[in-house]
Structure 1
């Protein structure tokens, strides 16, 4: 375990909480932190003695020590990133890495951001799907959303959106999120995928 000191908390829409920690822990994209009581904290950014986590739900009242857990990503070029609410933070972390995804698909019940029309064409998806994540688009990464009650988002499940995106276009698929999300995508995608389980 590494000592950790909270440097601040920020509440975001959709029940997400961003926590800044000062710690010597040095997670890599895909890894997460665990607290002394075993609570998992998905990592959004790390460097220079600070780690930022984005938690989709209840958060611990105080964080004083953390450990690094999980497997680090080793993505291939032009990989397709798939994430649920628990996988959003590690997706943002990976997006700032040396090999960012070529396309990111997010399945959320509520978003911690205001979706906006995408700047990027995605010929593998229907043209009317333009709802995108600004945090990814600002980094030059095309994104699309499976988000209930949003007119420009996918109306079905995240797994169905992924199946549509890869139909006839094989590419490396990495799923960041809860085990149930990973299993749902594995059930509809022909070919290998990499699952990166996240707490949440």
Structure 2
């Protein structure tokens, strides 16, 4: 058996596009039939997609949901450049190459039963995947805080779950998570109805302050989003003495550790080191990341 963590675990599949839905602000939800990826993907892992035959370089996309039995994998992405712009044109019935799952996923700790899932923008998908896993495990009490400065790629609805410590009127929630029995709240600076007017970390701080010390001992942060958000999550975790895992998003060419184009500085017991986001991450302990 190989001692290399990603040997024989990354699959390349000729995947059929099953569904492709457009949302406001150039956001898309893509579902493909990639059964080998679906069978082994873990929350926090990603896939490398060939966006179009005329574009050789693939694009990394975080995995949002999977169904191992049906064999599908789902992604939420924003079309921001040539690659994702071409991907946005792909239609159901077409085929594209999917390489995955890739990367080190999130790690759940049984002694930390109050996970807080913090997602910003296109960092929301890994939080949905993690929520899907947590709802199937007994004893966990997750709470999701999701932020966006463009319209959310879903129709928010008022939460039916009371969450102590939050301001009155902050009731907007992600319907999918609510259907799973996982309380969620949305934040934005754009004045969307029911959303907290502020950053995700502002709302998490209020929630933490209302939590009894005995329950705070069971909290762990899981986060994905833009670097300023992750830096703020890391600072909040340090302030309250809460462990945090963050998923980094970087541009990458090969996504399998060969090109070293996605390296970030990480503090290790031996001193600072450059680690590859694709295979050493994308998930790292927050306190080790040098922003």
The counterpart of 2:41, out of the listed 9, 27, 34, is 27
Greater fraction helix: 2
Aligned alpha-carbon RMSD (Å) = 2.2
Counterpart of 2:199 in structure 1 is 157
Query: 1:1-200, aligned counterparts within 5 Å?
Result: 1-5=11-15, 6-23=17-34, 24-25=36-37, 26-35=40-49, 37-46=57-66, 47-48=68-69, 49-58=71-80, 59=84, 60-61=86-87, 63-75=96-108, 76-97=112-133, 98-99=136-137, 102-109=142-149, 110-147=151-188, 148-167=190-209, 169=211, 170=216, 171-189=219-237, 190=239, 191=241, 192-198=243-249
Counterpart of 2:275 in structure 1 is none
| Counterpart Cα distance in 2 of 1:32 and 1:154 | 29
| Counterpart Cα distance in 2 of 1:101 and 1:92 | 15
Runs (5+) with no aligned partner, structure 2: 1-10, 51-56, 91-95, 252-291
Runs (5+) with no aligned partner, structure 1: none
| Counterpart Cα distance in 2 of 1:187 and 1:101 | 23
Superposition deviation, residue 35 in structure 1: 2.7
Over 3 Å counting, the alpha-carbon distance change for 1:199 and 1:15 in structure 2 is: farther
Contact 1:70 1:197 in 2 (8 A): no
Greater RCO structure (CA 8 Å; 6+ sep): 1
**Structure with the greater alpha carbon radius of gyration:** 2
TM-score (norm 1): 0.88
| Counterpart Cα distance in 2 of 1:179 and 1:121 | 30
Over 3 Å counting, the alpha-carbon distance change for 1:40 and 1:178 in structure 2 is: farther
Report the count of equivalent residues: 200
